[in-house]
Amino acid sequence: MTVFSLIIINKAGGLIYNKTFHDGGLNKISTNDYLVLAGTFHGVHAITARLNPVKPVATPPAPGTNDPPGRPEPSSGLEVLETENFRMQCFNTLTGTKFLLFTETTQTNVDVTIKKIYDLYADYVMKNPFYSLEMPVRCDIFDRKLLSYIREINNR
């Protein structure tokens, strides 16, 4: 079980972070290609989110209360992409930041891993006064915590 790499895309479709954790899992591509990949994925995601039919009202108001009816779940768009050699899972935050995690196809609990990475991002990137929003992430502590967390998973 191996986690290959992580990509973070901001809400405008720009690549703000990419990190490879395991050599030999995926072929190396140039930084420029990563930028294209991020932008393309962002576009495809936006289209698939519209393609997805909206579900009917999710929760009817409970009888006897005055609560307004629940809103339908927003459609999530593309979540998983699988090939013969790797699996890519996307986690889209409420603010539109996307976390893409490339793993082996047999990897389990990817959503737990990705949530934990989101936690680390919320802690060590968003609480850092020197980080400007929507810009590339360059935070030493985030790198350090992320690497040690992924190393722990890859060595399991």
Partner 1 sequence: MSSLPSGASSGKESGLRVPSNGKTIYHRPINRTKTSELSQASFAFLFSEMVAYAQKRVKGIQELEHRLNVQGHSIGIKLLDLLLYREPVRTQLRPQHIVGLLHFIKQNVWQHLFGRQADRLEKSTDAEKPDEYMIIDNEPLVNQYISVPREMSQLNCAAFVAGVIEGVCDGADFPARVTAHTVGEGEMWPGKTVFLVKFRSEVVEREAFLAKT
Kindly tell me which of 90 and 150 has the beta carbon lying closer to partner 1: 150
17 lies in the binding site for partner 1 (CB under 8 A): no
Contacting residue, 50, 115, 144, 151, with partner 1 by CB under 8 A? 144
Which three-class secondary structure string do you get for the chain?
CCEEEEEEECCCCCEEEEEECCCCCCCCCCHHHHHHHHHHHHHHHHHHHHHCCCCCCCCCCCCCCCCCCCCCCCCCCCCEEECCCCEEEEEECCCCCEEEEEECCCCCCHHHHHHHHHHHHHHHCCCCCCCCCCCCCCCHHHHHHHHHHHHHHHCC
> Tokens 């990190």 identify what position?
19
**Residue among 48, 28, 49 nearest 102 (CA):** 28
Window contacting partner 1 (CB under 8 A); options: 54-62, 88-96, 103-111, 140-148: 140-148
Window contacting partner 1 (CB under 8 A); options: 5-13, 31-39, 40-48, 141-149: 141-149
Site string for partner 1, 110-139 (x = CB under 8 A): -------------xx--xxxx-------xx
Kindly tell me which of 20 and 128 has the beta carbon lying closer to partner 1: 128
Contacting residue, 79, 141, 147, 151, with partner 1 by CB under 8 A? 141
8 lies in the binding site for partner 1 (CB under 8 A): no
Which residue type, as a one-letter code, is found at position 22?
A: H
CB 80, CB 99: distance < 8 Å: no
Site string for partner 1, 65-104 (x = CB under 8 A): ----------------------------------------
Site residues (vs partner 1, CB under 8 A): 123-124, 127-130, 138-142, 144
